[in-house]
Amino acid sequence: MSENIRVRFAPSPTGPLHMGGVRTALYNYLFARKNDGKMILRIEDTDQTRFVPGAEQYIMESLAWCGIQFDEGIIEGGSYGPYRQSERKSIYAAYSDQLIQSGNAYYAFDTAEELDELRKQAEAERKTFIYNSESRKSLRNSLNMNDVEVKKHLDEGVPYVVRFLIPENTSITMNDLIRGTVTVKSETLDDKVLFKSDGMPTYHLANIVDDHLMEISHVIRGEEWLPSLPLHVLLYEAFEWKKPQFAHLPLLLKPDGNGKLSKRDGDRLGFPVFPMQWKDPTTGEISSGYRENGYYPEAFVNMLALLGWNPGSDQEIFGMNELIEAFSLDRVGKSGSKFDPEKTKWFNHQYLIRQTDEALAQEWLKWLKAEKNLEPEKKKVVKIVSLIKERVNFVQELWEEANFFFETPESYDEKVVKKRWKTDSSEQMKTLAILLDDIQDFSAEMIDEKIKIWITENELSMGGIMNALRLLLVGAAKGPHLGDIMEVLGKTESIKRISSGIKALSN
Ligand code: GLU
């Protein structure tokens, strides 16, 4: 692409960033990196009634956790700043005035009560009140006043809003890189508020002015903004500015495909919808996050990348650089993508098993210290991790699969005892303990070999012996290969467990 590619992620700090928002940021980032462009973070905080303390920090920390980096933003700086709209307040009034001067916008002095009354009346008639080409003719706005009257209102400080004047009887044609050409009739649109007499712009005005001033080339955002696109296109035309290209990303859907994925689905179905844990500053309510639930950011990002975009091949595992390499907007689908919590765990599993045993052991050592106050020898932990990593999706699940390496069984799974502990088990295990005691090189290989010879020579059942032995060593019917377990436990501990197990089960 020859033009300068500049994209932005423009969140409003009204709460935690939903995973759909993270995906929007991710696609912007991939697109920017792929095309040698710039990625900008702009905080859209003009609606101060919806400001939530901590949200801005949360958004930035979440994106950093995901490895999504910005070239310009409130931290990075840049020559198009400031990057927080509340700090750009002085910029917007002139643009609002410009639209009034050019006849594309007007002052509306209707009070909130008056408009409420109109809404109620309309509702009573089963209609919806819309401030549009029809209703504006009989409302308190500058279109129905002469210049003297307007000036008088303004001089007296009567509160007002500036509304965009939607042109009558025209069609607005928009191009979207994902959806193609979309046309809407101007009658379906309302005269949206652009600016308020408190000096603050609304989202629509600030967004368009900033995209223009920041020379944004591509607006990549969620499908929920598609209804705003006709207004945005009209605003660009009214300002006589070059439009950016638009791409509206498909929705993230609930796992059953019925509707948009919401915070409540996460609570109801037991998966996070936020990248990091969030504590609501007002209610204190905690919403779970992928980070705290033990996901690797790479797994979370990989999963999100494929939720709406496809690489055109069967490849599923993509690191960030591979995503950048493979990404293109023409492989983003139009229809919503169903979120699959199980597949998300699968992705984490894939990243977990790709860790070196060293790295995984290091992570688990931290967990063991923090959660179990255990500080086992690293070499032992590396070995254990190599034996069981295939069985888990998360580091915190390792304990459930491997606790017996650290704790001698105190009880024995009753069902397993019933099924696996036979009348001759005691005698067999005693003999086996003597045999094990004789092994000098207590390695899995050696142990396996000796047991096999003993079983064959005595015509015993391999399954019967191994099941009983596992019960004594582990306390249950779980765990990796027995030779490996014994190698890790060591000779003394293995024999000790066999003896105390026999005692416990013979009573
Ligand atoms: N501030 C809007 C939001 O919160 C930005 C929408 C856009 O990207 O234009 O999503």
For residue 309, report the distance from its CA to the centre of ligand 1, in Å. 20
The sheet carrying 218-222 orders its strands as: 38-41, 6-9, 218-222, 245-249, 171-176, 180-185
Q: Report the alpha-carbon distance of residue 283 to residue 360 in Å, rounded.
A: 37
What is the residue type of 43? I
Query: What is the mean predicted confidence (pLDDT) over 173-195?
Result: 96
| CA distance linking residue 131 with residue 140, whole number of Å | 11
pLDDT at position 2 over 50: no
CA distances from 238 to 233, 242, 456 (A): 9, 11, 90
What is the CATH architecture of 414-506?
Orthogonal Bundle (1.10)
Structure tokens at 150: 């307007």
Protein residue whose Cα sits closest to atom 3 of ligand 1: 11
Enter the CATH code of domain 6-76+205-253: 3.40.50.620
Distance 71 CA to ligand 1 centre (A): 19
Instruction: State the average pLDDT over residues 17-33.
Output: 97
Query: Shortest CA distance to 220 belongs to which of 13, 20, 61, 18?
Result: 20
Distance of CA 311 to the CA centre of its chain: 20
Tell me the per-residue pLDDT of 432-489, one tens digit each, with 9 for 90 and over: 999 999 999 999 999 999 999 999 999 999 999 999 999 999 999 999 999 999 999 9
Of the candidates 34, 89, 263, 383, the residue annotated as catalytic is: 263
Q: 263-350, what's its fold?
A: Glutamyl-tRNA Synthetase; domain 2 (1.10.1160)
Q: Angle formed by the axes of helices 482-489 and 462-474, to 10°?
A: 40
- pLDDT band at residue 33 under the 50/70/90 scheme: very high
Residue burial 455-478, b: 16+ Cβ < 10 Å; e: rest? beeeebeeeebbbbbbbbbbbbeb
Q: How far is the CA of 24 from the centre of ligand 1 (A)?
A: 10
CA 108 to each of CA 90, 114, 132, 146: distance values in angstroms, whole numbers, following the listed order = 21, 12, 12, 13
Smallest CA-to-CA distance from 302 within 321, 278, 288 is with 321
Mean pLDDT of 172-190: 95
Cβ-in-10-Å burial (0-12, 13-18, 19+) of 14 comes to middle
Cβ partners under 8 Å of residue 279, min gap 6: 285, 286
Please choose, from the candidates 301, 280, 279, 282, the residue with its C-alpha nearest in 3D space to the C-alpha of residue 290.
301
Look at 83-87, 141-145, 262-266 and tell me which has the smallest mean pLDDT.
262-266
- Statement: 90-196 belongs to CATH 3.10.20.30: no
Q: Are 260 and 2 in contact (CB under 8 A)?
A: no
- State whether the Cα torsion 457-459-460-466 is positive or negative: positive
Q: Which atom of ligand 1 is nearest to the CA of 24?
A: 8
- Cβ–Cβ under 8 Å, residues 301 and 67: yes
- The pLDDT value recorded for residue 268 is 85
**Catalytic annotation present for 263:** yes
Q: Strand 6-9 and strand 38-41: pairing?
A: parallel
Query: Ligand 1, atom 10: nearest CA belongs to which residue?
Result: 11
- Whether 96 has a pLDDT exceeding 90, the answer reads yes
Q: Report if pTM > 0.95.
A: no
Is residue 471 within 8 Å of 417, Cβ to Cβ?
A: yes
203 CA closest ligand 1 atom index: 1
Q: With 70 as the cut, is the pLDDT of residue 332 above it?
A: yes
CA distance 163 to 132: 10
The average pLDDT across 329-341 equals 95
Strands 337-338 and 252-253: parallel
CA of 262 from ligand 1 middle (Å) equals 17
Region for residue 419 given its phi and psi (left: phi exceeds 0; alpha: psi -120 to 50; beta: otherwise): alpha
d(CA 105, CA 234): 11
Q: Is the pLDDT of residue 1 over 60?
A: no
Rounded to whole angstroms, the Cα distance separating 125 from 119 reads 10
Confidence of residue 189 (pLDDT cuts 50, 70, 90): very high
Q: For the chain, which residues make up each domain, given as ranges?
A: 6-76+205-253, 90-196, 263-350, 355-405, 414-506
Determine the atom of ligand 1 nearest the C-alpha atom of 8: 8
Question: Which atom belonging to ligand 1 lies closest to the Cα atom of 11?
Answer: 4
Pocket of ligand 1 (CB under 6 A): 10-12, 44, 203, 207, 221, 225
